[in-house]
Each structure stands twice: as C-alpha cells, then as structure tokens.
Amino acid sequence: MEEIANRKSQIANLRTAVIGVGSLGQHHARNYAEIAQTGETELVGVCDSNEENARAVAEKNNCDYFTDWRELLDKVDAVSIVTPTETHAPIACAFLDKGVNVLVEKPIAKTLAEADLMIEAAEKSGAKLMVGHLERFNPAMVALRPFVTKPLYFEIHRVSPFPNRSLDVDVVLDVMIHDLDAVQWLVGESVKVSEIHAVGIPVISDKVDAANARIEFENGAVANITASRIGTEKIRKTRFYQTNGYVVLDYATKFASVTSLAPNAIHPLLGINVNRLEIVDIEPLRAEIEAFINSIVQDKMPPVTAHDGRRALSLALGVLEKIDEHARKVFPE
C-alpha cells in the first residue's frame, strides 16, 4: 500500500526535462511546459551544450537551464533526449541506470549494439524507454490504423528540400526510418523481412541523400519506399493496397482515405466508395509525449517500445548495407 502511495505521489508531480533543445527539442520543451500547466507534471529544466540555445528555450518555457545533462540525473523522473543520434546511447543509459524514464528521438541509436545497451539498462532498472517514431501519432495515421487489415503492396514517397541539419546521418537513418517503422508496424511486428533491395546516392552531402528501397516480407507484403532530402517540394505520401481496399495516407496534409467497393454494388465502376477518414487534429508531438507520460503514470508498455525502435534501426541498417553493395557494383574501385 505504502509503495503504491509513494508511486502515486511521485507521479502526481512527475519531474520532466528535455536534453538537446535544437530544432526539434525546443518543441518537446514547449509541449512539456504546456502539459505542466495541468499541475500533474513539472518541467524542471532544459539542457543543451549550446548555452545560448539552453537559455533561450528555458526563458520561453519558464524553467531552469543546464549545459551538462549530468546535472539533471538526480532531479527528474522522465526526460526526452533530442540530441544528435550518436549521443543517444550514452545519455539514455545514464538516465535509465538511475531509473529515469526516457523518451529518445528516432533513430534509437546509431548502432544495434548501442540500442541493446539501452534496452538492457531499461530492463535492469525498470524505467520506461520509448522511441520517438512520431508518424505513428500523426492524426491521419491515428484515424487510419483501425481500418488496416492486411496490407500487401506499399508505394511510399518522403521528399524534402535540403535541410542543413541532421547531416550526421544519411537520409535512410534520418527520414526513411519513419516509413520503415510504419510499414513494419502495419504489416505486423512479428512478420519477418525476407529480402531487401536498395539503391542510394550522395548528391549534396557526403552521405546518402536520396534512396529507394524495396522491402519484401515473409507474408508476401512488399514496400517500395523512396526518401530524398534534396527535393524541390515536401511530399509525405503513403499509398497501399490491402484486400478489397486502396489506402492513401498523407502525413503532411493529415489526410487519410480508404477506397473500396461499396457494399451491394452491382457494377464495380458504379460502386466505388471513397471513405475520407475523419481526422482529430492534435499536434503529433503532443500526442507522443502524452502517451509517454501515460505509460509512466499507468505503468504500462509505451506505445513505441525500444524493441520497435531497434527493429526500425535494424531495417534501416539493412537498407544501407544493400545501398553499399549496389554502389560497389556500380562504382568498382
């Protein structure tokens, strides 16, 4: 009883912080500050090795700022880690070791070995470890998810103008990983990948800037995914076919529809029904952070687990391996 009471009082004032408040982390901080207004959580502070960033975001959100995340280890119950990918594992492990719950941005880490260390640390301390695969919280995806049956063929495009950020990773780990996670989630977490074909090229940076991958699953599902960060427009479109249905999902415009033969249609051309799904327009990051907090408060599995994050990373690394293989064939030394 006492244990439950202690847990409740700890949760009643869940102390939160954000590590890394650059282009994405500042929005984590804003959301934690807004959520704190309910009185159930508190934004203790933000941390950034760039003091100017840290101070500016702290001022906006009315909290303390730090330039060394170690100072927060004993001050918080939950953190978002929104630093460059190569720093995820050491920072996350230090917080997890202390029993602090962690929401780490995608990709979970740079290598599978690092991801395993994070999973081990979470399992040891019992702290929650969630991965920020944000598209799962996009209102269009949330509306669509209940209508997904057995997708068999995906055609996916994710194109952006050159970002001048996240250049520590290639386009596969930076953005294609969103679609790799979504496809695996929709096909089924336990369905194994049987084959990967991929091609990719560095165009503007020294890493792969544009890539195409064909992922084949053991159950016969196939996904054709194109990701580019050197486009002239922003495209975030997924189309897929499932038995008796054609699905369109646009993350950018938050649109989802399912096209199928209308019930009792006598002639297919006369009986096509396009069901434009109703969207509840919530900021995806807000939904993601609330889901993280709920998983702590209700002591349940986070909706995107560390194993999901590891699976997406493993798939992305598999795509990169195939891109390398293809490049060696095309440009033999």
Ligand X SMILES: NC(=O)c1ccc[n+]([C@@H]2O[C@H](COP(=O)([O-])OP(=O)(O)OC[C@H]3O[C@@H](n4cnc5c(N)ncnc54)[C@H](O)[C@@H]3O)[C@@H](O)[C@H]2O)c1
Tell me which residues touch ligand X (CB under 6 A).
Answer: 19-25, 47-50, 53, 69, 82-85, 87, 105-106, 132, 134, 165-166
CB-based burial label for 177 (10 Å; 0-12, 13-18, 19+): buried
Structural tokens at position 151: 């997708």
Structural tokens at position 139: 């209102």
Q: By C-alpha distance, which of 273, 307, 302 is closest to 287?
A: 302
CB-wise, 106 or 242, nearer to ligand X? 106
Distances (CA, A) of 6 to 9, 38, 78, 120, 252: 5, 20, 16, 26, 43
CB-wise, 66 or 217, nearer to ligand X? 66
CB of 27 to ligand X, least distance (A): 9
Planar angle of CA 165, 168, 174, nearest 5 degrees:
70
CB of 255 to ligand X, least distance (A): 18
CB-wise, 87 or 259, nearer to ligand X? 87
CB-wise, 92 or 221, nearer to ligand X? 92
- DSSP symbol at 172: I
Residue closest to ligand X when measured from CB atoms: 22
Q: In terms of DSSP H, where are the helices of 132-264?
A: 139-144, 171, 177-187
CB-wise, 69 or 154, nearer to ligand X? 69
CB of 20 to ligand X, least distance (A): 3
CB-wise, 23 or 194, nearer to ligand X? 23
Distance CA 29, CA 33 (A): 6
Distance CA 79, CA 92 (A): 9
CB-wise, 166 or 205, nearer to ligand X? 166
DSSP secondary structure of 174-191: IIIHHHHHHHHHHH-TTP
Task: Calculate the CA 183 to chain-centre distance.
Answer: 12
CB of 327 to ligand X, least distance (A): 23
CB of 200 to ligand X, least distance (A): 18
Name every residue whose Cβ is closer than 8 Å to that of residue 180 and which is 6 or more positions away in sequence. 213, 215, 225, 312, 315, 316, 319
CB of 180 to ligand X, least distance (A): 13
CB of 54 to ligand X, least distance (A): 8
